[in-house]
Structure 1
């Protein structure tokens, strides 16, 4: 039943429809103490609202408890400046009651604990804001539009983000909903950016750190080649604009993808080393490819997000693994890696999987599903029992592509599968895909049942027979110089040797050795780095050696039997192979599959 108002009937449903307007203001509370201040102005007809701070950031699969760094929460009536009633109902939620039509929330965020792409940071030269770690959202109302205005011009004249900005205020930005806000980090800087165009997209590159104009120009030109290669691979560019932020201010490594930007950290001391520069390009290539693979073409569990608990998926081998294959593959096709360098990249990943026992402990799907508690929470034994969905997923993508080249009639590959996934799930259905849907589309596009061929390597802890698939294109393994291996790695501290890593392999004997054991003597001689290196150089498989250790204040002795490994191992191109294999190899190396 409605009620009459000026001759019109207004339904109770319309009358009670909750309204909500949110305006954030971000300022520097104390630059030297690394505090941001956030002021949130709220206009509403609701009597009660819960505001929450996210627990994690999409793309970084670990609960991070961002509320740890939120302090001095307050709420006041905008009109009379009286306090608004509130209580903290759990570690990440604040419930406000008896709300006036307009009120303000203020709080302080500490931003200096970690220098990473997923945490806030504030110092005298720049500031970084990872939005899930800074902005409260109204529970159940992630669809609410927001404005964000920065009051930081006295410290940082430039604000870099992918969000649209106000035409009259370059420090004011708009988001259509919180998913967009949380996917749009802010970098506060005194530096100026450079621009380049690839495809139909205008790209912006901001480098934080002391670098020359020549370096900016070189990197900008190189990124243009990489982005053009990827756009050509996908046959479209989904963004009108894209922002690269590269922080070279402190030694660090990492990247985080976003729908229209990426945040990348790299060690400034390494950028002029040729090999390290290519590693930087590989990082940037990886994060850029994510604007398709994961930000649009994605497993169904990776959106929409619950920012309070994990979004679990068994398909990170697609989202991250395929990206890990293509990041270096694009560099090869863009001319930054020669064939030998590219093969070295491939074999480095393959050998890293073979150098431990993890393939027999964890499947690729388990690696993905447990990323929150295992891959992102590594310990001293993780290398022995934890498979990387990045590394093994990348090797799987290689093998799938080679198998498709061999079996599909028209040389259809993952590239063509991604085109179809983009068409069906991004543009038509506007959702992610299930594992079965991925394999169904692959079979539809290529005529090949990839699930039949590869599912056992997804569901079971089992090594992928890489050599079988590389043989399809006439690339084979060479292994020579079988030598002994101690089965452990050490670190030196104040001239003393300590056990840093213990390697478990099926063919290794278990040894009485623990992490942080101090090695006092090796075969009766005082342990030094040079003595250990001499042992490692001359050790033979099956040979025994004697260690004297100090453990928890006690002296221990142990005998170790050396295992074996091939000192020289590599994959090489075979000229003594069939014409069919040579043809497939040329196709793989000359065309972007």
Structure 2
């Protein structure tokens, strides 16, 4: 403990003694629904940027459009000239400090542009709620994204600040801009609970304006889920602390709700209702978001590991980051006894139908992923549908070729051990890495056919290996593909063979 404390003190000292970027926000000074951000700059800064996009969103948001009245000052405090180069970039000469105002994204209809999904944005309500996704508040110095940073946050009396970030003397500290902005902060009259699950300290912070739901009730839903995830991950979490930050709302904009994942936290924007109504929703959404501690935290390509906030480059592997994560979130619940096999198959049936009904499955998944910001942006939702089915097929294929001994669980563990949070793989090398790691016959062809190719997933063949089937409800097939899909479902085979039962047992209870 002493060694850890000394290291922290040394790091905090380095923020003031060496080159660093230091932000300060006083939440008590909310004026015209805007917050003012003060920034202390290192020497030689001539350009200050705001993110065009951030990891996990898969949409161009241009957060700089919420920034106004940016002023730059020299070392003597004199105002110097600033030129706004574009929406997200400000240029000046050797400034020592900056000051600017930021509107919140939840409640600024006068600011035109792409709608920002609430879990990726900000909300400022004096004395009540500050939802702070810091990437929507804080700019950065291009080329110095790995510079140490700190944020001093002055919070209103009576409100609680919740985050996965480390704090010292009122400052949130991080080794880089990317790490700081990967950790949202919820400041509210929040209800909090702390859990210890395995090696991780878990924070659950809930803001429910009408007090319809309590953090203790959410904890009751999440604790068995987290225990099942711990077992699924081999008895050890790749993080030592994690924060669930949950905002409940009685007035959902656009009727949309959901969450955004981060390395050690997730931010939720959900309808305010009782735990009886919201419990299953919170559990299912959390199951997916929490599993992002594996991908992309411990396993990611260079496009994510060295994310370019101004000119983001998309990875080809959304099947891994979102698809396999969604599959694992469901498979974990099956293995942990939280859902039954019929319930699991029902969920997979719904994904199969939605994928066929709402998306173009003739587009190779890697091609769709790479072009998700442009040509294929309307296909993004398929990552949770066909992407999960790719995960199911890959898992069943690996297990069928190894007599149940090896599946996607072990694959991700092995790849994560080889890479980890600070080491990225080359996007074009992933399939080759999986071939090398698994040594499973035909796995290269699996990817070329079904992930980088457009062949239809072999669901019927692979499901049959675990005593299940893809069957037509009325025994007939329609000529129109999506109508055919709507008449099919995943079901257990009535009299599976001993071999099918044996592989099913390995798949459900490895």
Deviations 1:412-454 (Å, cap 9, x if unpaired)? 1111111211111127x82235454444344533533312123
Contact 2:316–2:369 (CA<8 Å) still a contact in 1? yes
Give the secondary-structure state (helix, strand or coil) at the position aligned to 2:424.
coil
Task: Give the equivalent residue in structure 2 for 1:403.
Answer: 397
Contact 1:51–1:138 (CA<8 Å) still a contact in 2? yes
Contact 2:404–2:503 (CA<8 Å) still a contact in 1? no
In the alignment, the residues of structure 1 paired with residue 139 and residue 486 of structure 2 have an alpha-carbon distance, to the nearest angstrom, of 54
- Cα displacement (A) at 1:214: 7.7
Contact 2:52–2:310 (CA<8 Å) still a contact in 1? yes
User: Quick one: which of 415, 425, 433 aligns to 2:409?
Assistant: 415
In the alignment, the residues of structure 1 paired with residue 476 and residue 431 of structure 2 have an alpha-carbon distance, to the nearest angstrom, of 44
Contact 1:367–1:388 (CA<8 Å) still a contact in 2? no
- Cα displacement (A) at 1:571: 2.2
User: Quick one: which of 493, 499, 502 aligns to 1:583?
Assistant: 502
Give the secondary-structure state (helix, strand or coil) at the position aligned to 1:109.
strand
In the alignment, the residues of structure 2 paired with residue 305 and residue 354 of structure 1 have an alpha-carbon distance, to the nearest angstrom, of 32
Q: Spell out the pairing of 1:218-229 with structure 2 (5 A cutoff).
A: 218-229=217-228
Deviations 1:25-62 (Å, cap 9, x if unpaired)? 11247647421110112342x2x521111111111111
Task: Give the equivalent residue in structure 2 for 1:58.
Answer: 55
Consecutive unaligned residues in structure 2, runs of 5 or more: 1-16, 109-115
Contact 1:29–1:37 (CA<8 Å) still a contact in 2? no
User: Quick one: which of 377, 382, 392 aligns to 1:388?
Assistant: 382
- Cα displacement (A) at 1:202: 0.5
In the alignment, the residues of structure 2 paired with residue 49 and residue 326 of structure 1 have an alpha-carbon distance, to the nearest angstrom, of 45
Task: Give the equivalent residue in structure 1 for 2:136.
Answer: 133
Q: Spell out the pairing of 1:28-67 with structure 2 (5 A cutoff).
A: 28=27, 31=30, 33-44=32-43, 46=44, 48-67=45-64
TM-score normalised over the length of structure 1: 0.75
Check 1:27–1:475 CA distance in 2 against 1; reply closer, same or farther (3 A cut). same
Deviations 1:329-354 (Å, cap 9, x if unpaired)? 22223333222221111111112223
Contact 2:35–2:102 (CA<8 Å) still a contact in 1? yes
Check 1:145–1:567 CA distance in 2 against 1; reply closer, same or farther (3 A cut). closer
Give the secondary-structure state (helix, strand or coil) at the position aligned to 1:287.
helix
Task: Give the equivalent residue in structure 1 for 2:437.
Answer: 444
Q: Spell out the pairing of 1:147-186 with structure 2 (5 A cutoff).
A: 147-154=150-157, 157-166=159-168, 168-169=169-170, 172-186=171-185
In the alignment, the residues of structure 2 paired with residue 374 and residue 346 of structure 1 have an alpha-carbon distance, to the nearest angstrom, of 27
Check 1:69–1:223 CA distance in 2 against 1; reply closer, same or farther (3 A cut). same
Task: Give the equivalent residue in structure 2 for 1:107.
Answer: 100
Q: Which has the higher helix share?
A: 2
Aligned residues: 479
Task: Give the equivalent residue in structure 1 for 2:261.
Answer: 257
Task: Give the equivalent residue in structure 2 for 1:547.
Answer: none
Give the secondary-structure state (helix, strand or coil) at the position aligned to 1:412.
coil
TM-score normalised over the length of structure 2: 0.86
User: Which range moves more in the overlay, 310-319 or 443-452?
Assistant: 443-452
Larger Rg: 1
Consecutive unaligned residues in structure 1, runs of 5 or more: 1-17, 485-504, 509-562
User: Quick one: which of 72, 78, 89 aligns to 2:85?
Assistant: 89
Contact 1:137–1:178 (CA<8 Å) still a contact in 2? yes
Deviations 1:232-278 (Å, cap 9, x if unpaired)? 222322222111111112434221111111112222237423xx532
Check 1:72–1:401 CA distance in 2 against 1; reply closer, same or farther (3 A cut). same
Contact 1:21–1:42 (CA<8 Å) still a contact in 2? yes
Check 1:96–1:61 CA distance in 2 against 1; reply closer, same or farther (3 A cut). same
Give the secondary-structure state (helix, strand or coil) at the position aligned to 2:120.
coil
Give the secondary-structure state (helix, strand or coil) at the position aligned to 1:576.
coil
Q: Does 1:454 align with 2:447?
A: yes
- Cα displacement (A) at 1:199: 1.0
In the alignment, the residues of structure 2 paired with residue 423 and residue 481 of structure 1 have an alpha-carbon distance, to the nearest angstrom, of 47
Task: Give the equivalent residue in structure 2 for 1:467.
Answer: 460
Task: Give the equivalent residue in structure 2 for 1:559.
Answer: none
- Cα displacement (A) at 1:482: 7.8
Q: Does 1:237 align with 2:230?
A: no
Task: Give the equivalent residue in structure 2 for 1:363.
Answer: 364
- Cα displacement (A) at 1:227: 2.0
Check 1:318–1:115 CA distance in 2 against 1; reply closer, same or farther (3 A cut). closer
- Cα displacement (A) at 1:568: 5.7
Task: Give the equivalent residue in structure 1 for 2:111.
Answer: none
In the alignment, the residues of structure 2 paired with residue 357 and residue 20 of structure 1 have an alpha-carbon distance, to the nearest angstrom, of 48
Give the secondary-structure state (helix, strand or coil) at the position aligned to 2:53.
coil
Task: Give the equivalent residue in structure 1 for 2:20.
Answer: 21
Give the secondary-structure state (helix, strand or coil) at the position aligned to 1:142.
coil
- Cα displacement (A) at 1:73: 0.7
Give the secondary-structure state (helix, strand or coil) at the position aligned to 2:299.
coil
Q: Does 1:300 align with 2:302?
A: yes
Contact 1:243–1:262 (CA<8 Å) still a contact in 2? yes
Give the secondary-structure state (helix, strand or coil) at the position aligned to 1:207.
strand
Give the secondary-structure state (helix, strand or coil) at the position aligned to 2:121.
coil
Check 1:196–1:349 CA distance in 2 against 1; reply closer, same or farther (3 A cut). same
Deviations 1:84-118 (Å, cap 9, x if unpaired)? 2332223222122154xxx3311110102456111
